[in-house]
Every structure is written in C-alpha cells, then in structure tokens.
Amino acid sequence: MEQILRAKIGRVRWQIPVVLGITFFFSYLTRNSLPLALPRIAQDFGWSDREIGANGQILLGAFFLSYGLANIFLSPLAESFGPKRSVILAIALFSGVTILSA
C-alpha cells in the first residue's frame, strides 16, 4: 500500500511543474501578444505612425492596468478556492476566452 502511495506521489510531483510551466508559458505569450498585434490593429484602423504611438500607449496602458488590478482583486479569491481549483479554473477560463476570440 505504501509503495503504491509513493509511486502516485512521485508521479504527481512531476506533473505539477509541467502543468504550471505550460500555464506560465502561455500566460507570458498572452501578456506579450498585444505589442505584436499593434501593427495589425493600426492597419485595420488606418492609423498614422503618430496615432500608432499615441493609441498604442493607451492600449498597452489599459491592458497592463487592468492586468495589475485583476491580480490584486483575484488573488484573494484564488486563495479562497485553493491552488488546485484556482489553476484549473484559470486554465478553463483562459482556454474558453481564447477559443471565443479566435
């Protein structure tokens, strides 16, 4: 019985860093996708170089401000759910929103 439990714990020990690593990787990509999309957004709206600078700063500022505020307010909520449920919920919401926005 003890060997089965140790084997299960050993397997889970390696699954946690893999899942978290993949999650953080995609989170990083998402945070840094707006600057890459900015030229396409500017092209769609017909912005000049000056407008790209002004509107791009507003877009990036709004994105990072909302990102920071979300972290402040969602962290206590995530603590109340616990780490496992919080990560599962975050991955599910992220995946759903990504599918809807594609």
Residue burial 41-71, b: 16+ Cβ < 10 Å; e: rest: ebeeeebeeeebeeebeebeeeeeeeeeeee
The whole-model pTM stands at 0.59
Domain ranges within the chain, ordered by starting residue:
2-101
| Tens-digit pLDDT profile for residues 5-54 | 666 667 778 888 888 898 889 888 877 888 888 889 899 999 998 998 88
Per-residue model confidence (pLDDT) at position 6: 67
How do residues 44-54 score in pLDDT, each as one tens digit?
Answer: 999 998 998 88
